[in-house]
Structure formats: C-alpha cells, structure tokens
Amino acid sequence: MGEQIFDAIKNGAKLIYLTLGGSATNDAGCGMAVGVGYKFFNEKGNGFIPTGGTLQEIKKITFPQNIRNVKFIALCDVKNVLYGKTGAAFVYAKQKGATDDDIVLLDKNLQALTLFANLTDMILHLLKEQELLAVLEQGQCSF
C-alpha cells in the first residue's frame, strides 16, 4: 500500500483514504510507511524494514518531506485495542498463519513500539484502552 500512496502523492494527490482491516496492523503500519518513504533505524544506526517481529528494534525514524501537505483519512472495520489479549496480534495474527509463540512476540513488539513512541514524544496515541484504529492513525500522524 505504501508504494501506491507514494505514487499518488508523486502524481499530486492531497487527500488519501486508507481502507484497512485488523489483520494488516501487526506491523503497526511500518510496511506502509517504508513504501511512502519513511526510514527506520536500529540501535546501531542500520536501516531496516520493520515487521511485526522486529518492531522492538526501532530506535530512530526519519520522515519523508513528500507527505507534509497530504491529508490521510483512515477507514477501519474493527475496534480492538492495540495489544493485550483482545489486541491485534491475539485476535488477528493466527488467521494469517502465526503460531502461538509468534502471537506472543507480535504482541510484545506492539507494546515495545508503543513505548518507543511514547518515549520519543511522537504523535502516537497508542494507549492500551484505545481502539485498533489508533494504530492506523499512528501511521497517518507519524508515518
């Protein structure tokens, strides 16, 4: 989806609607962000493409300039919390083939990304009580 967004922006789009579902959010929108032009770095300063299994490695994010004047509207059909027993990983990851161990790791990494976001004062409102839509809004605000 990120590459499509990048192309739309390159061709002059100023308003983008994102239609998203629960199972696509276990990477917290990072895959989409990479396609748009965000860059993610680990503690050694090496760039990488985050997945649900590597969210805890994110230590720095650089933001593309191409989205400053673009408005994003996210449409989502679920209302789960981000992490925990009723969160994205526990509810949706199994249907994508995740094992029980994978689900625990995904959930832990969504919590780690939330901590990173809060510690770096990014515009991410990913409190446990919020709906899964917050993860998508995170992508709009910070990605």
Is a pLDDT exceeding 70 seen at residue 119? no
Is a pLDDT exceeding 50 seen at residue 80? yes
Q: Summarize pLDDT for 18-62 with one digit per residue, the tens.
A: 887 665 567 888 888 899 998 999 999 999 999 889 989 998 888
Residue ranges per domain, the chain? 2-142
- In DSSP notation, the chain reads -HHHHHHHHHTT--EEEEEE-GGGGTTTTHHHHHHHT-EEE-TTS-EE---TTTGGG--EEE--GGGTT-EEEEEES---BSSSTTBHIIIIIGGGT--HHHHHHHHHHHHHHHHHHHHTT-S----TTSBTHHHHHHHHHH-
Q: What is the mean pLDDT of residues 3-14?
A: 94
What's residue 112's pLDDT?
Answer: 85
Please provide the average confidence, as pLDDT, over all residues in the chain. Answer: 80
Q: Tell the CATH superfamily of the 2-142 domain.
A: Glycerate kinase, domain 2 (3.90.1510.10)
